[in-house]
Amino acid sequence: MLADGERYAEWVVGTSDVTPDRGNWPEVDSTIRYAVPLGPLKLTNETVVRRCEEGSVLELEAKAGPLGTARIAIELRPWGRDTLVLVDEHPLRGPGGLVHNTGVDLLIHLRHRAMLARLAKLCESEAGHAAGPGTASARPGASRA
C-alpha cells in the first residue's frame, strides 16, 4: 500500500486526485501530486520520497505551497504475526513551523489515527483477498502495510 503512490488518497486523510509526477514511487526523489480540498478551493500539493527502505521505512517531504513543508516518517516493525506502523510528522520549512504547538500536535495525532485506521482496513482487505475465500484476514487493530 505504501509502495503505491497512486493509492495515497485511499488512506491519507484530506487528499484526492493523486497523480504520479516524477520517478517511480517510492524511489528516492520520486513525487506524486494530489489535491487537498478546502471548501470550494482545491490546493495542489506534492509529496517527495526522501528515504525508502523497502518493507520498513518510508520518509516523505510533503510540500504545501505557501504553508511550507513537513517531514513524514513511516516505519514498519514486526509485531508478533502483525506489523506495527509508526508515523512521525513535523514541519520542516515555512509558516507551519511557527504555529506548531500542542494544539496542532493533537490535530495531527487525530488525523494519523484516522489515516492508520484507513491503511489497516485496506491492508487487511487485500490480505483477505490474497489469502482466498474462507481465510480470516488480520485481526482488527493490526495493520499490514
DSSP for the chain reads -TT-GGGHHHHSTT-EEEEEEESSTTSTT-EEEEEEEETTEEEEEEEEEEEEETTTEEEEEEE-GGG-EEEEEEEEEEETTEEEEEEEEEEEESGGGTT-SHHHHHHHHHHHHHHHHHHHHHHHHHHHHHH-TT---PPTT-B--
Range of the domain at 11: 5-131
* Structural domain contains residue 137: no
Q: Is residue 140 a part of any domain in this protein? A: no
Look at the chain and report how many structural domains it folds into. Answer: 1
pLDDT in tens, 69-98: 999 999 999 999 999 999 999 898 888 777
145 in a structural domain: no
Instruction: Give residue-wise pLDDT tens across range 13-56.
Output: 989 999 999 999 999 999 999 998 888 888 889 999 999 999 99
pTM, full prediction: 0.82
